[in-house]
Structure formats: structure tokens, C-alpha cells
Structure 1
Amino acid sequence: MEKWESILVDQFGSAAVNKQAVLENKIESVPRYVSEYIIGVYGVDGITRATIDEACDFIRAHQFSGQQLGLLKQKLVDEFLAKVLDKFKIEIDIKKNENKVLMSTAQLPNIIASPSLAKEYPRLLVDGVWGLGELRYYPPGYHFMNEDRENKEGIIELQKFKPLQLSDISFELYQQARQTFELESWINMLISTMGLNYQNYELREKMILLTRLVPMVEESIFLMEFGPPGTGKTYCYDNISAHSRVISGSSISEAQLFYNLPRRAPGLIMQYDVVLFDEVDKVKNRGIDENVVNKLYKYMASSTFDRGEVEMSSTCGIMMVGNIPSEQEFQEKLLFEEILHPRLRTEAFLSRLAGLIPGWELATIDKRDVSITRHYGLMADYFSEILHELRRENFQTLLNQHIDLLGANIRDDDGVRKIMSGMLKLLCPHRQVDQEVLALVADFAVELRQKVLNQIFFLTGNSNYEVKLSWRFKDE
């Protein structure tokens, strides 16, 4: 165990885990942050083969896949009671004054939540929570919760719930703990928490990896990343944060992304901190739905959108990732032209991007024993909530006090400062920022925005984008 790992365990206690052990024994049927939580519960005194087996047995006994829905129904009919591991969400039906329950895997009909659960676990009303739910079945004709109403079709009640992901954290303790780490050790801890072996990466590559987390900590930021397959572009969005959502194949409708008018249901950007459009290179021919792109134009500029006659707002970030063709030599100058559909490579759309992440500089994660971390890191669920909490922090005032951008218009300035703010939240959540760190972050943020300007110039030839961004300290 390295010195920084000892500090991590000392500062964070049970929130610090042996990442190698939990990743090598990840339980595939649940998200990584849930898997780590369950393994941590059974392995509180150390992760062994026996504790892994216990965790797997627990999941097998309580999780029902879509194909096993009939088995769950039979259990409820025979025994009237079942404990189920799933992601639960409560939706309030105002007309019927009922708390309806949605389950992400075992999608049972007619589930009503006990009134106390929404008050006890308010996150059930937001984006849902993974946990162990106790379901009670009331057959047709039986009175439900001592009510006199008719029960014609049978009712299932979610009467008890135990979260299997963290619901409360102390952000202040996280900030205080950062003070005990050197910057290099803190960066290594973050990379290890992401599941990667920090020893495989130089500082620049670590900065590229950490930029993937920026939309999780900075509100209303829009980025793109392109690189070879297998570099982990999507991995952290699928496995690290419960507040991010991946759109596979980038296929989605207006109603799904923004707001479903007939159902009066919020779309993904109203429910998550960041939405990732995956494999945008694979939709080059057909493109993302034109109506979705048109809505994104306004949303990416103002964080608002119109549905029907109502204007709505969100702080959800947008991330787009894609693979670089492997059959030909990579030329950065031709990147957007070769990968993006014409709808996504217009000046109006691209100018709204804060930055372009050079994922092509990262090596493929191919050998597990080499690429995956061998060190301690923060439990995925704990880290997920920290990232979510960091969105509330404001680093813009600090940047305005110390940094001037040169050659930048309003969108350039906004994009660079958002990237800088996000990186500082990750590197210095305790707000103790020296000039060395500011310079590191400023150089990197300016470069990512400069890559966007270069791409627009390559595509359009518009001389307004043939500019060179730079920065300086205000006291220079």
C-alpha cells in the first residue's frame, strides 16, 4: 500500500476500497456503484473469495431479470411477500393521490408505495434508487392498507425499502481530506477511483481522463471526445455516476430527451446531471433526429428549451463521444468532417461546444492486469455523490480574480472558464489553488477550446475562427 493509499483509508474509512478487488469481482447484473456497495457490505473486514460469493448469492436470491418476471409473480401469488433487488422510482399521481412505483428491471404492474417511503427517501422521487424492496401482494378482493376502495385487479405495495447505494455524504469532510494529499497523489487517487492504473499514464493523459468527469461536476457544459475504441470513453458514465445517462447509438426522440407532452413526463436532461450521446460516428449517415438537434441548438446556448408553449430549463450537460476510424491514418484536421453528420458539423452547433477532448492520445485499455487499477480508491457510489455535490460549488469568482483570457469572444470565454472550473473542482475541492495549478488548468482548458475553433475553421474557412486563444494572470 502506497503512502497516499494509507492516507485515503485513514481519511475516508469505509468509503475507501481496494479497487482492484472490487473490479476483478464486479457483479455484472448491477451497475458498478451498486456492485461495490454490496461487496463492501459483505467485505467490511476484508474482501475475500468467501465475501464475494456471499455478495453474489445475495444478488442471485433477490434480483429478477425481465425473463424471470413470471417467477417473481408466482412468488407473490404463493407467498404474498417478496424481497426484490432493483432500481425503484416513485411517481406521484396527483389525480389519484397515489405514489406509483416503477422498477427498472422487474417491471411489475400496479405497484403502490407506502406513503412514508417518499418522505424517508426523497431521492426515490427524483431519479430512483437501487435497493432492496419488500413487496406485498394484495389479491383481487382484499382490502389494501385498510382502505375501503375496490381492489379488482390486485395491488402490489412497496412497503419497505433499504437503499443499496449511499444517500448521505459529508462534502465538508471530503474537502478537509483533500488538504492531506499532495496534488500528484490526489490525481492518482482520482484515476484509481475511475478504475484505471494511474501508473500507465503521464500527467497530460491523466488530465484528459479527468476531463471526462467535468460534465459531472460543472453545470451546463457541452463537450466532445473522439478516440480509438476501447479507451474508456463511455465507461465512467455507465459505471461511476448514478447521475449520468448513456444514449447508446445516439438514437433518441424529443420526448425522451426533453419532455413528453402527452405524458407530462420530464425527459432525460431534466433527470440527470449529464447525458452522453455514444457512438456519434455510427450515426454519420442518418444523423441524430433533426428535431432533437434543433432543440439542442437553443439548449446548448441558453440551457432552456421549448416544449409546447412552455419554456423549461435544466443544468444537464451534454457529452458526445465517438470512435476514430482505425483503417486509416488519423488526421486531426479532418476529424469532424469524417466523423460527424452534417447536422452536427454546422458552425452554429459546434461553436456551442466548450471543448474537444483529444481522446486519440490515449492508449487502448486492453490488458486487464496492466490497465485496471491495483490500488485503493473511493467507493463508486460515494464518489458519484461527491461529483453531484460539486455541481453546487462556484469556482467562477476565483477564476475571475486571477485569470484573463486573450483573443476570446463570449463563447470562448464561457467554454474555457467552465472547463477550468470543472477541473479545479476535481483537483482542488478545498479551494486552495496556487498559480502552478491555475496555469496547468488554464493551459489545458484553452487548448480544448482552441481545438473547437480549429475544427470550425477547417470545416467552414471562416476567418473569424482563425484565432489563437491565450491567457495571463491578472497581475502580469
Structure 2
Amino acid sequence: MKLEKWESILVDQFGSAAVNKQAVLENKIESVPRYVSEYIIGVYGVDGITRATIDEACDFIRAHQFSGQQLGLLKQKLVDEFLAKVLDKFKIEIDIKKNENKVLMSTAQLPNIIASPSLAKEYPRLLVDGVWGLGELRYYPPGYHFMNEDRENKEGIIELQKFKPLQLSDISFELYQQARQTFELESWINMLISTMGLNYQNYELREKMILLTRLVPMVEESIFLMEFGPPGTGKTYCYDNISAHSRVISGSSISEAQLFYNLPRRAPGLIMQYDVVLFDEVDKVKNRGIDENVVNKLYKYMASSTFDRGEVEMSSTCGIMMVGNIPSEQEFQEKLLFEEILHPRLRTEAFLSRLAGLIPGWELATIDKRDVSITRHYGLMADYFSEILHELRRENFQTLLNQHIDLLGANIRDDDGVRKIMSGMLKLLCPHRQVDQEVLALVADFAVELRQKVLNQIFFLTGNSNYEVKLSWRFKDE
């Protein structure tokens, strides 16, 4: 199939980071995250993705990945051969008191694993959120000296002695910014939608803006959004499959210790480990609600990006996203949305006023037919895109907005929410910082609308006239 003009530019600008998204999505390897699947398929299909290269990639994974049920096989291999190459997500934790490290594996959870000291220096991401890769494990049976040390070895020690990342460990954000200059805005938006795995030809500009808003918490620090829509519109898809820095809480069921900080274990919670945490299916917890202690902590966190655990105040820039399904058995009425879907703890004025915006996912069609809904075009490799989104969090677009935009009728929280949405959208659309008035107007209109929907919902619920306001904006030179 002949490439469109923007696809040719993409391949020319990004090289191996640009992939045939249709091919990699149709042949996704289910046992690993999508960004890892795309990486492995890309390695074997560097000269083109064919049935043979897909089979090679699958054979590689089958030979080196051990599920929880196959843990006994891996242990036996280590006992028999003393060496094993394992595909998994590896993370290194440092015990300062003992001056030791330990290795955690997400699937094959072996005991007594430590890492060669050089690995943490060579791959620092192993110390942060972990990295998917091929690890070479060496087994030292009880009684064997370990690494020429006098260390006791009573229970057997496993060493992660070599490691090869199977996701990108380094990117050039500057090259990404430079490449944006070669695209028209429409083509760049189409590329982003294709990178998300969707067929851009199925969506009008407004629908594309709604889809891109799902990425805003990945690029903008400390932002809190909600989205509601029909089942099957992909509300959680990008959080599960695009970014290694996002975490989905299935069924919105989580404890205070898991989300914030586990005091007995002195272990950071999800908010301390990820860029964004998504509460999935909040509509299904309407009766029992999210844990009351969690909601109480979120009140403060959503206002100040800080929370208390024990006698210590901690901070994070992790965003919060809440999504849910709209009941299909009755006619949708936006005015009754929060009342019908949210538990009383989540529909208080104090909680809802902290939201930056409400994404109208109900305007999107269901993704039902794969051959129609899924992209047929090129896009950026998921792992590359994940790291770009993470890097964009460091960028500051607030100064640019302050120079050009005035918000009217807005209080402090309105102003903060609108500007965060605008900042996130500009990071996605114009990472090169070349922003004209047409783009500013597009983003400002959309951001104001999303915040206005929050105010409308609070007014519908409470009748408080303070929320019966109409937000607007203008250019500073008008």
C-alpha cells in the first residue's frame, strides 16, 4: 500500500521509531505489553513485517518467557544448568541499611535475586519503574561463594548478571521537536491518532481532540480529569497499551497504602511510581464507592499534590484520571450524568471542583469493527511514544499561555484547570513551541468547554449559584 505524504515524512524523520501500526497491532503478542510487543516485532521485522518475522518474534518470546505457572520449570533450569535467559520486567531496589540490592520480576517472581552492581549504572531506569528486557540469571547453590565475596550463601543466590532492554532506554527529545516542524498540523494530529492505534479517517477534528485529551495527563503534571462514554470507545486502552508510565486500577478498587504509601513496608504507592493513575469503571462502584480513606486523601492531593502518611507530608506530580461507562439501557442526559454514575463521595462540591475538566467521551462511536476502527497507517513505536510523553512533562508551556491568553469569569481553580488542559494539548500538538493564534484558539475553546462541563455538573447537583457561570477567554491584545 502506498504511503501517504505524512507517513513518508514520518519514516524519513523517525527511522526505526516509525512502524506499520496496522501490522504490529494485527500481530500483537498478547503475553507482553503492546510497547514491548512492538519493539520485539520491530527488531525481527526491521526489513519488513511478514508472517515469518512474526513467527520468529513469537518463538523468541516462547523460549524465554516464564509465566507464574511455569516458575517451577525456570527453577529447575537454574538448578540443572546454573544459567537461564528470561524475558520479564526487571526492577532493582536498593536496601541502604544492608548496602545491598534486590531484583524484582513482574511475572517469574523468583526469590533471592540480586543484580550485578554495574547494571543499575548502565540502565538507571531499572531503579525507577523497571524495564522489560532479556535478563541472564546465574544461580549460585547454597554453600557456593558469590562473586568472590565472603558473603554467606545458605539458601542459594540468583544473580542478574547481564541485561538487554527490550524497550527503548534512550531517546532524543530534541529530534522529536525538530521533526514536528516538517509536519502540517492536520498531518501531525493524524499521526498521533494512528500512533494511538486508531484509524484517523473515522474521526472529525472534534473527535480527534477528545481522543488526544486522554493523553493530557501523560504530558501534564498534577492534572485531574474524568471521562464517561459508551463501553468499547477505548477509554482505558491507551493507558494499558501506550505508556509504561501509567497504571490502570481495574474496578477502581485500591487501598490507601497501595495508592499513596505503605507505612509498615515503607513502600511508595502507585501515585509515587507513575505519571498517571487511572480509576477504571467508577460507574461500577456507585453503590459501595471507592475506599473512604482513599477519597479523603485524594481531596488534599488533588488540591495541593501532597498527602500525609503517618507524620510525613509527601508530594507527587502524578495525575488522576477517572473513567466510567454510561448506562446503555436509557437515553443519555448530560444533566444527570454525575448523579446517575458517581458514588455520593465522588459527587461532592469539594471533590468535583478539583477536576480540571470533563471529557465528553459520549460523543465517540464504539470501536467495534477491527478492519474499520484500527489504524491502517504508520505511527510511532509505542515505547518511543511513551518516553516522549514522559519527557513532555518536563516542558513548561504556562509562560506561553500567560503571554497570550486571558480567561474571563474564572476563579483560581477554573484558571488552573483550563490552563493545564491547554498546556497539555499544546505539548501534544506543538512540541516545537511554534504556536499560532489558530492553534491557540482551537485549544482554548476546547479547554474552556471541558472545565465548563465540570461547573455545569456541580450546579446541576448542588444548585449553588456560584457555579452558574459562563467561562470564556480572549487574546491579550484584543
Q: Same fold (TM over 0.5)?
A: yes
Q: SS at 1:229's partner residue?
A: coil
Q: CA deviation at 1:7?
A: 0.2
Q: SS at 1:47's partner residue?
A: coil
Distance in 2 between residues matched to 1:441 and 1:153, nearest whole Å: 60
Distance in 1 between residues matched to 2:306 and 2:212, nearest whole Å: 27
Distance in 1 between residues matched to 2:96 and 2:216, nearest whole Å: 37
Q: For residues 388-446 of structure 1, what are the alpha-carbon distances to aligned partners after superposition, in whole Å with 9 as ceiling and x for unaligned?
A: 00000000000000000000000000000000000000000000000000000000000
Q: CA deviation at 1:82?
A: 0.4
Q: SS at 1:173's partner residue?
A: helix
Q: CA deviation at 1:203?
A: 0.2
Distance in 1 between residues matched to 2:287 and 2:476, nearest whole Å: 47
Q: CA deviation at 1:265?
A: 0.8
Q: For residues 179-226 of structure 1, what are the alpha-carbon distances to aligned partners after superposition, in whole Å with 9 as ceiling and x for unaligned?
A: 000000000000000000000000000000000000000000000000
Aligned counterpart, 1:207: 209
Structure 2 regions of 5+ residues with no counterpart? Answer: none
Q: For residues 143-180 of structure 1, what are the alpha-carbon distances to aligned partners after superposition, in whole Å with 9 as ceiling and x for unaligned?
A: 11111122111111000000000011000000000000
Aligned counterpart, 1:216: 218
Q: SS at 1:23's partner residue?
A: helix
Distance in 2 between residues matched to 1:27 and 1:61, nearest whole Å: 14
Distance in 2 between residues matched to 1:283 and 1:74, nearest whole Å: 44
Alignment RMSD (CA, Å): 0.4
Distance in 2 between residues matched to 1:412 and 1:341, nearest whole Å: 23
Aligned counterpart, 2:450: 448
Distance in 1 between residues matched to 2:226 and 2:147, nearest whole Å: 51
Q: CA deviation at 1:95?
A: 2.0
Structure-2-length-normalised TM-score: 0.99
Q: CA deviation at 1:469?
A: 0.3
Q: CA deviation at 1:293?
A: 0.3
Distance in 2 between residues matched to 1:158 and 1:367, nearest whole Å: 44
Distance in 1 between residues matched to 2:289 and 2:331, nearest whole Å: 24
Matched, 1:39 2:41: yes
Q: SS at 1:118's partner residue?
A: helix
Partner of residue 239 from structure 2, selected from 214, 221, 237: 237
Q: For residues 439-464 of structure 1, what are the alpha-carbon distances to aligned partners after superposition, in whole Å with 9 as ceiling and x for unaligned?
A: 00000000000000000000000000
Q: CA deviation at 1:94?
A: 1.4
Q: SS at 1:46's partner residue?
A: coil
Q: SS at 2:107's partner residue?
A: coil
Distance in 2 between residues matched to 1:150 and 1:423, nearest whole Å: 55
Q: SS at 1:58's partner residue?
A: helix
Partner of residue 469 from structure 1, selected from 454, 468, 471: 471
Q: CA deviation at 1:240?
A: 0.2
Distance in 2 between residues matched to 1:13 and 1:348, nearest whole Å: 48
Q: For residues 59-105 of structure 1, what are the alpha-carbon distances to aligned partners after superposition, in whole Å with 9 as ceiling and x for unaligned?
A: 00000000000110010011010000000000001122111000000
Distance in 1 between residues matched to 2:72 and 2:340, nearest whole Å: 48
Distance in 1 between residues matched to 2:46 and 2:286, nearest whole Å: 48
Q: CA deviation at 1:141?
A: 0.8
Runs of 4+ residues over 4 Å off in structure 1: none
How many aligned positions are there?
476
Distance in 1 between residues matched to 2:64 and 2:79, nearest whole Å: 16
Distance in 2 between residues matched to 1:63 and 1:326, nearest whole Å: 40
Structure-1-length-normalised TM-score: 1.00
Distance in 2 between residues matched to 1:158 and 1:18, nearest whole Å: 34
Trace 1:315-326 onto structure 2 (pairs within 5 A): 315-326=317-328
Q: For residues 101-135 of structure 1, what are the alpha-carbon distances to aligned partners after superposition, in whole Å with 9 as ceiling and x for unaligned?
A: 00000000000111111111111010000000000
Distance in 1 between residues matched to 2:414 and 2:23, nearest whole Å: 43
Aligned counterpart, 1:370: 372
Distance in 1 between residues matched to 2:101 and 2:125, nearest whole Å: 14
Structure 1 regions of 5+ residues with no counterpart? Answer: none
Distance in 1 between residues matched to 2:129 and 2:11, nearest whole Å: 30
Q: CA deviation at 1:16?
A: 0.3
